[in-house]
Amino acid sequence: MRYGELGHRSIPVSQRSLYKNVHYEEVTAMNLPKNVGTVDKYARIGAGALLILLAVTGTIGVWGYLGIVPLATGFLNTCPAYTLLGVNTAAGEKKA
């Protein structure tokens, strides 16, 4: 399988016509938009860990394993829902 040139690296040449109006350069696996701020990040990690802990101990049902979602978004500093809604809690923070 041959891949396209710059800008279409992740799309095989045979499938380019299916994705001609989609811009994959904006978000890739290693280039996710940082839209979760520091306070938001720690709140997500804490809430996610608490939900998973309560599910493991049997205090709440298996739905507590959904805590993996806030846990992952906290560790990755990106939230797909924030991207769709245009929210950015990391906007005013300085880069380290």
8 A C-beta contact, residue 1 and residue 12: yes
Residue range 31-39: mean pLDDT, rounded: 89
Q: What b-and-e string marks burial along 68-81, b requiring 16 or more CB atoms within 10 Å of the CB?
A: ebbbebbeebbbee
Band of the pLDDT at 2, cuts 50, 70, 90?
very low
- 41 and 15 assigned to the same domain: no
Neighbouring C-beta atoms of residue 51, cutoff 10 Å: 20
| pTM higher than the cut 0.75 | no
- 59 and 89 assigned to the same domain: yes
The residue segments making up the domain with residue 58 are 32-96
- 7 and 26 assigned to the same domain: yes
- 59 and 88 assigned to the same domain: yes
- 48 and 87 assigned to the same domain: yes
Q: How many domains does the chain have?
A: 2
Tell me what pLDDT residue 26 has. Answer: 46
Tell me what pLDDT residue 31 has. Answer: 76
Band of the pLDDT at 49, cuts 50, 70, 90?
very high
- 94 and 72 assigned to the same domain: yes
